[in-house]
Each structure stands twice: as structure tokens, then as C-alpha cells.
């Protein structure tokens, strides 16, 4: 991995869940031993059902959650080993866009002040004139007109509000942008506009993007590589075109089967069986392969032995005993 990108190794996040003053706390492993890489100017999409650990993973990268045993390297800096003061110096280079556009904006602040807030926090050396120039530049980049600067968030549609959130995220000119369900609250036509905006900003600014969504169709549209998470573990990790052309993990196949598409390579996956009951609780995950309780291809080995994430010649990595038996012999 180039020093200009993001590299994560062995990221694990555990929570203690209290059951009362006398009971021993339950342990919830929200994310387990996740590795990922994002090159400069590229997008990694992370997809999975609600509760699979997507947002926790993103927050741990930004040190908003405590990760155990992880190595997180951003542009050559080992984020986990930095002191709080040292991390604050690189934090402006790592920004986040949130799911609910209006809820993420202070309703009592005008748009210009919302976008300027990161500058006031991280660039106290700037004078008012330079700060206003950077705010105006960020607004122009996301398609907001200058006269909108004096308005309040409630005066905007959801799509416009998300553009304000994006402007706030890019005003510091970061290198890494984490989008946590950034378009899921928008209707389909507005989603397409925001995705096009993000791709344009990526080309213009050389952004590395971590894009989180439960919607595989959206992730396919914007991503170069895709990680499929299940109960906090990586089920499959592959280049986008490889994953859609030949999904190997049964969970990935089931997710693709739910995507309505005219692409015949996707449409044939609609014949895949349903994945059965709801996802198990992460407090009490299944033994062996975490997906085996919902998998139509389950075998005895799946119930007792957790599959390793194994590399395929086309760049895919798959954690499935059954699928990996087809790996070519070296």
C-alpha cells in the first residue's frame, strides 16, 4: 500500500454489554480482524445488513471507537500509535459524511457557519476573509449558490442538505472521505446526483473514499473494490467487477440476488435461494462460519470451523469452506 493511502490490519472492536449490577457483562464483538486498503483516488464500498459492523468499522478508523490490536496507517502515519495531540493534527485530513443530512446539521446555524465550523476548529490561523473564501469555494464545488450561505438547514431539501454536509467535509481539503450511508435517506434520483457529485470531487481532489451502504446497487455504482461484511467479519472482498461477475460467498450471492437489474449476469442470481432467518445476535454468534445458520450450502465443517479468508487469482478473497474448495491448486 502506498503511503498516500489507507491501510488497516486486524481491526477488532469489542463492547461489554451490562446485564445488571450482579451479572457478568456480555461481550459483543462488533468487528473482528478486518483488513482493508484504499489507494489514493479509489473507493472501497462496504456492504452488509444492519448490525454487521459497517459503521463501527468506520468510526474505529477515525478513533471514535476504541479498536483492539489494530494497525491503521494513513499517509504513512500509524494512527493508532499517535497521541491525542498528534492525531488532532492529521484528523482534518480524514472527514466523514453522515446518513441523515438534516440531523447532522445544527438547525440554529446558518449554512456559511456550518461549513466554516471545521475551519474554526482546525485552522485557527485563518483570518475571516480567507475563511469566507474557502467556504465559498466549498459551496461552489458541491453546487450550492452563494445566496444560500445565509439560510438555515430547514430551508433545504434532503439532497441540498447533504450537499451542505459534503461541503463541510471537504472545506478542509481532506484526503480521506468516509461516507456512512450518505445517500440512504435520499430518493433514487437524488441519490444518483449525490453519487455523481462524490465521484466528481474524487477526481478533482484525489480523494480516497470509504463508502458504506446496505444497498449493493449503490455500492456497485461508486466503488472500485467491495467488502462484504457479515457479523463483523469479512465474508468476501473483491474488485467490483469480479464480485458481480462471479460472487463466491453464499451471502454475497444472496445480496446480489436482491438487486433488481437488467444485467443478465446479475439476473441469473435471482434464482438463488433465500438466506433464511434473521441474522443471529452478535452477542451470541454461531460457532464455525458465522453464516452457517442461514446458508443453504452448509456442511459439517461450516458448523465447527471458521473459514479463513483465502486469496483467489482474480483478486477476490473469500471466507467460505465450500467456495474455496474450487481454488486452483498452486
Instruction: Report d(CA 224, CA 219) in Å as an integer.
Output: 9
Backbone angles phi, psi at 46, to 5 degrees: -120, 125
- pLDDT (tens digit, 9 = 90+) per residue, 92-147? 999 999 888 888 899 999 999 999 999 999 999 999 999 999 999 999 999 999 99
**191 found inside a domain:** no
- Under the banding of pLDDT at 50, 70 and 90, the label for residue 279 is confident
> Which pLDDT score, from 0 to 100, does residue 27 have?
79
Average the pLDDT over 276-289 and give the result: 85
Residue 279 lies in a domain: yes
State how far the Cα of 208 lies from the Cα of 200, in Å rounded to an integer. 12
Taking a C-beta distance cutoff of 8 angstroms, is the pair 183, 162 a contact?
A: yes
Q: pLDDT tens digit string along 188-226?
A: 889 999 999 999 999 999 999 999 998 898 999 999 999
Instruction: Find the domain containing 295 and state its range.
Output: 240-325
Contacts with 327 (C-beta within 8 Å, 6 or more apart), sequence order: 310, 312
> Which pLDDT value is given to residue 274?
60
Instruction: Report the pLDDT value the prediction gives residue 22, as an integer from 0 to 100.
Output: 73
Percent of residues, the chain, with pLDDT higher than 70: 93
* Residue 174 within any structural domain of the chain: no
Domain presence at residue 287 = yes
User: Would you say residue 7 lies in a domain?
Assistant: no
Backbone angles phi and psi of 293, in degrees to 5: -70, -15
Runs of H (alpha helix) within the chain? 54-61, 84-90, 111-122, 128-141, 158-170, 188-205, 216-222, 240-245, 250-257, 264-267, 300-304, 321-324
Q: What is the pLDDT of residue 144?
A: 96
Which cell goes with 160?
441540498
Q: Provide the domain count of the chain.
A: 1
pLDDT at residue 17, as a whole number: 82
- Average pLDDT score, the chain: 90
Percent of the chain with pLDDT over 90: 74
Residue 111 lies in a domain: no
Is position 262 within any domain? yes
DSSP-assigned letter for residue 25: P
> Which of the two residues, 186 and 276, has the higher pLDDT score?
186
Contact (CB, 8 A) for 211 and 219: yes
Answer yes or no: is 286 within a domain: yes
Give the pLDDT confidence of 244-267 residue by residue, as tens digits. 999 999 999 999 988 755 455 544
Local confidence band at 276 (pLDDT 50, 70, 90 cut-offs): low
With cut-offs at 50, 70 and 90, classify the pLDDT of residue 51: confident
Residue 4 confidence (pLDDT) above 70: no
- pLDDT value at residue 101: 81
Amino acid at each position: 500500500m502506498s503511503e498516500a493511502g489507507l491501510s488497516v490490519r486486524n481491526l477488532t472492536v469489542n463492547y461489554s454489554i451490562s446485564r445488571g449490577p450482579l451479572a457478568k457483562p456480555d461481550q459483543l464483538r462488533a468487528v473482528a480482524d478486518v483488513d482493508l486498503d484504499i489507494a489514493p483516488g479509489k473507493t472501497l464500498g462496504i456492504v452488509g445488513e444492519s448490525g454487521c459492523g459497517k459503521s463501527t468499522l468506520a468510526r474505529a478508523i477515525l478513533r471514535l471507537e476504541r479498536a483492539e490490536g489494530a494497525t491503521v496507517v494513513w499517509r504513512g502515519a500509524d494512527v493508532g500509535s499517535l497521541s491525542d495531540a498528534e492525531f488532532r493534527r492529521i484528523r482534518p485530513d480524514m472527514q466523514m459524511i453522515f446518513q441523515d443530512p438534516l440531523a447532522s446539521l445544527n438547525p440554529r446555524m446558518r449554512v456559511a457557519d456550518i461549513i466554516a465550523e471545521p475551519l474554526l476548529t482546525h485552522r485557527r490561523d485563518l483570518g475571516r476573509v480567507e475563511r469566507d473564501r474557502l467556504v465559498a469555494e466549498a459551496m461552489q464545488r458541491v453546487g450550492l449558490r452563494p445566496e444560500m450561505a445565509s439560510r438555515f438547514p430547514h430551508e433545504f431539501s434532503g439532497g441540498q442538505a447533504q450537499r451542505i454536509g459534503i461541503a463541510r467535509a471537504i472545506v478542509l481539503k481532506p484526503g480521506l472521505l468516509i461516507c456512512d450511508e450518505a445517500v440512504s435517506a435520499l430518493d433514487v434520483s437524488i441519490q444518483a446526483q449525490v453519487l455523481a457529485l462524490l465521484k466528481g470531487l474524487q477526481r478533482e481532489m484525489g480523494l480516497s473514499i470509504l463508502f458504506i451502504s446496505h444497498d449493493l446497487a449503490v455500492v456497485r455504482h461508486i466503488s472500485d473494490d467491495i467488502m462484504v461484511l457479515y457479523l463483523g467479519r469479512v465474508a468476501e472482498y473483491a474488485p467490483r467487477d469480479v464480485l458481480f461477475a462471479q460472487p463466491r460467498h453464499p451471502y454475497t450471492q444472496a445480496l446480489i440476488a436482491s438487486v433488481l437489474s437488467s444485467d443478465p449476469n446479475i439476473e441469473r442470481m435471482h434464482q438463488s435461494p433465500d438466506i433464511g432467518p434473521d441474522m443471529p445476535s452478535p452477542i451470541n454468534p454461531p460457532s464455525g462460519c458465522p453464516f452457517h445458520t442461514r446458508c443453504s450450502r452448509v456442511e459439517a465443517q461450516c458448523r465447527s470451523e471458521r473459514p479463513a479468508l483465502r486469496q483467489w487469482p482474480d483478486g477476490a478473497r473469500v471466507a467460505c469452506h465450500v467456495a474455496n474448495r474450487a481454488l486452483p491448486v498452486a
